[in-house]
Amino acid sequence: MNSSDEKAVQAVRAKTQLRDQLKQQLAEQAGQLKKMQEEAASLLQATRSMTSKLRVIKVPEGAVLRGCKKTRRKLREHGF
């Protein structure tokens, strides 16, 4: 082989090596992305289950009360 053929072979090898490295990095990033998506879905589910347990009381003025036991008791006593 002459020198131009050797240079072409080296260039092809370098491109192949670079392509393989990029494929490996892409596979690693895809794995990380999948793990992050699973964590986000888990957090979203936990948030939904927590918010569904909140008790909301609507009063005539349109205010919404959450978690104030004393106020809830007073409103129930007065029939709201």
Domain borders along the chain are 3-77
CA distances from 10 to 2, 5, 30 (A): 13, 9, 30
- In DSSP terms, which residues pair with 66 in a beta bridge? 56
In this structure, what token pair is assigned to residue 3?
Answer: 């020198």
Task: Give the pLDDT confidence of 2-54 residue by residue, as tens digits.
Answer: 788 899 999 999 999 999 999 999 999 999 999 999 999 999 888 877 766 66
Task: Give the pLDDT confidence of 47-77 residue by residue, as tens digits.
Answer: 877 766 666 666 666 666 666 777 767 777 7
Query: Model-level pTM?
Result: 0.49
**Residues 3, 61: Cα–Cα separation, whole Å:** 88
